[in-house]
């Protein structure tokens, strides 16, 4: 029985309120402990020290998801800039997303944007001590997305999910087009080619 069959057999319809089934590999994401002192010295998108732990906690506790997402976008990615705090947040964002069971375009889009900004311009590479966990988190988010894409009709969510899948499979340019351009922008581009 496929994952889609399991979702369909629950009520005969694909529903955006069905929680994401646990994938065995997803539970293997390791990450920088929220108690680790390294958080105090990490730099975010503004090229200043950035400790996103309170924002991650707010997102996880669902106190105010919209506000938490707004601030995470501001702190982790600013005008194309990212930093070590951005990279260290990715495994936690994947963990929180998995736990919530909600198809939220924000997780896919911010992870894709952070990864696409990696090493561009003055952006650093992922620190060696974080590299394995960071890459594993992106692959696992792509696996979650492969299941969740069937539960949403929102174009932004679909594009962001496909973008993460493309990036995880090494198709960065395709991922960039999916997450950085709207359908209308791509149609306009296509009409000029």
Please answer whether residues 168 and 142 qualify as being in contact, where contact means their C-beta atoms are separated by less than 8 angstroms: yes
Does position 66 have pLDDT exceeding 50, yes or no? yes
- Tell me 44's DSSP state: -
Query: How would residue 32 be classed by pLDDT, with cut points 50, 70 and 90?
Result: confident
Least confident of 10-14, 42-46, 146-150, 168-172: 10-14
Q: Is residue 81 classed as helix, strand or coil in its secondary structure?
A: strand
The per-residue pLDDT for 31 is 81
Proportion of the chain above pLDDT 70, given as a percent: 84
Q: Which helix (H) or strand (E) holds 85?
A: helix 84-100
Over range 117-125, report the average pLDDT.
Answer: 96
For the chain, give the number of residues: 193
The per-residue pLDDT for 60 is 92
Please answer whether residues 42 and 90 qualify as being in contact, where contact means their C-beta atoms are separated by less than 8 angstroms: no
Proportion of the chain above pLDDT 90, given as a percent: 75
The per-residue pLDDT for 29 is 57
pLDDT in tens, 105-116: 999 999 999 999
Over range 54-69, report the average pLDDT.
Answer: 90
Over range 165-178, report the average pLDDT.
Answer: 97
């Amino acid at each position: 029985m496929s994952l889609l069959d399991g979702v369909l057999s629950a009520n005969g319809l694909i529903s955006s309120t069905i929680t994401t089934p646990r994938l065995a590999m997803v539970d293997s994401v390791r990450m920088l402990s929220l108690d680790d002192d390294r958080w105090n010295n990490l730099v975010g998108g503004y090229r200043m020290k950035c400790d996103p732990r309170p924002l991650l906690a707010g997102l996880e506790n669902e106190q105010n998801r919209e506000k938490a997402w707004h601030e995470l976008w501001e702190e982790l990615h600013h005008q194309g800039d990212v930093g070590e705090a951005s990279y260290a947040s990715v495994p936690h964002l994947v963990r929180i997303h998995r736990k919530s069971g909600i198809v939220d375009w924000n997780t896919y889009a911010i992870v894709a944007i952070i990864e696409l900004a990696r090493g561009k311009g003055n952006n650093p590479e992922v620190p060696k001590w974080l590299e394995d966990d960071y890459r594993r988190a992106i692959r696992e988010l792509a696996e979650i997305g492969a299941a969740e894409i069937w539960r949403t009709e929102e174009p932004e969510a679909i594009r962001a999910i496909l973008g993460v899948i493309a990036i995880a499979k090494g198709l960065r340019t395709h991922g960039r087009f999916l997450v950085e351009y709207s359908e209308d922008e791509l149609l306009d581009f296509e009409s000029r080619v």
